Amino acid sequence: MVGTRIRGTIWATAIVIAVVIYLFELLMKILAILLCAFITFPVVAQNSNQKTSENMKTLIVYFSFTAGNTKRIAEKVHAVVGGDLIRLETVKPYPKNYAQAVSQGEDEAKRGYKPELKPLGVELSNYDRIIIGTPTWWYRMSPAVLSFLSNNDFIGKTVIPFMTNAGWPGSVLKDMTALAEKHGAKVENGHEFRFNSNEKQYDQMETPEEELTEWIDSLK
């Protein structure tokens, strides 16, 4: 009789222990699932809000005057990347006489002059990414691009600067980056393209064509 009671007690205890272990393991599984969901959800939500180059709305802005090298680079980018392409224009045009235009450009570049620009015809707020091109004028960005970067808000936008030069790049990319970041931009993938310094061969690019192609492909 006593033995029977003891065996019954042992079985009851064993059943209770088994149930407790089962419930504990079940609780651990539930907690693990909840923890996994808690960690994963913010990441998924964050990734869903991140824009890639494929779904970014892109604006390509450039200034080009004499040789047209910056214009050609911008057009090549546009042909591959798409988006909208706009040439910056000053309200007061530069002289048609080459020597006078060069003299005026030198003066403006050296004193950091910011000419008034004609309206772009688009709203910058509609774009996620802005690719900006400038020629190098006396080791500096062109006055038109200086005006554009100085007078616009780039908060929440990605800016990709590029510049053309004839062998004297100066601090153009560094200056463009600093100015865009000052106005809230995330700056990345800037590039310089070198052209022939011979006045009669200004349109001949010395930067390898493969380098240009690779850079443009990286913007897709």
Q: What are the tens digits of pLDDT across the range 152-164?
A: 999 999 999 999 9
If we measure between CA atoms, which residue out of 63, 61, 69, 60 comes closest to residue 206? Answer: 69
- Give pLDDT, residue 100: 92
3-state secondary structure (DSSP) of residue 114: coil
Average pLDDT over residues 49-61: 76
- Give pLDDT, residue 96: 87
Whole-structure pTM value: 0.76
What residue type is 157 in one-letter code? K
Q: What are the tens digits of pLDDT across the range 93-125?
A: 999 888 898 899 999 999 999 999 999 999 999
> 74 Cβ partners below 8 Å, 6+ apart?
60, 62, 64, 85, 87, 131, 133
Q: Which residue did the predictor score with more confidence, 209 or 17?
A: 209
Under the banding of pLDDT at 50, 70 and 90, the label for residue 44 is very low
Which CATH architecture best describes the domain 58-218?
3-Layer(aba) Sandwich (3.40)
| Residue owning tokens 């808690």 | 38
Lowest mean per-residue pLDDT among 6-10, 53-57, 180-184: 6-10
Percent of the chain at pLDDT > 70 equals: 77
What residue type is 61 in one-letter code? V
HEC sequence for 18-62:
HHHHHHHHHHHHHHHHHHHHHHHHHHHHHHHHCCCCCCCCEEEEE
3-state secondary structure (DSSP) of residue 204: coil
- Give pLDDT, residue 5: 54
- Give pLDDT, residue 52: 58
Residue 81 has pLDDT above 70, yes or no: yes
Residue 2 has pLDDT above 50, yes or no: no
Residue 47 has pLDDT above 90, yes or no: no
> 118 Cβ partners below 8 Å, 6+ apart?
89, 90, 91
3-state secondary structure (DSSP) of residue 83: coil
Percent of the chain at pLDDT > 90 equals: 66
- Give pLDDT, residue 8: 55
Residue 19 has pLDDT above 60, yes or no: no
Residue 188 has pLDDT above 60, yes or no: yes
Average pLDDT over residues 1-7: 52
Average pLDDT, the chain: 85
